[in-house]
Amino acid sequence: MKIFRSFYPDEYKDSTYVIDFQEYYNRGYRGILFDVDNTLVPHGAPEDERVIKLFKHLKEIGFKTCLISNNKEYRVKPFADKLGTKYIYDAHKPSKKSYNKAFDVLGTDKDETMFVGDQIFTDVFGANRVNMYTILVKPIHPKEEIQIVLKRYLEKIVLWTYRRELRKSNK
């Protein structure tokens, strides 16, 4: 349905941790924006060995990274500091302002920067509004705040139409 297309990701993956980031670097991407909760770690969880290893790998490849979160600074800053990455807190996603700010922070533009997040109506929609490449990942953990749980029901409708259109286009 055309009405949902602004919410469609460019790709949908099972996890951030199955993405072949080297492939994207080879395709010309140089910056990656990440959501934090349920994209990199379970909601509210501290950094873990898996995310630390991922960010080390991304730096070795040559990526510039930035966390872009609607959370407050007390949640995002310590997380970003442990990963050695830039961050934007209280981002008001899906507002375009923080995505554009992230390009300035990284020194990249929208055509060489991608976004990885777990929510359609904030992460993907916001990144699509600035015309950047988006990867939606499945949430790491089902325990979420009530307002997110409610949005997940609407996301299921969008994902159903997204998958249906993908199947039609692959015939």
For position 2, what pLDDT does the model report? 64
For position 142, what pLDDT does the model report? 64
Angle between helices 73-83 and 49-61 (to 10 degrees): 60
For position 9, what pLDDT does the model report? 95
The residue assigned the tokens 């993907």 is 124
For position 164, what pLDDT does the model report? 80
CB 40 within 8 A of CB 51: yes
Q: Average per-residue pLDDT in the chain?
A: 90
For position 166, what pLDDT does the model report? 76
For position 158, what pLDDT does the model report? 74
Note the pTM of the prediction, 2 decimals: 0.88
Mark the ranges of the chain whose per-residue pLDDT is less than 50. Answer: none
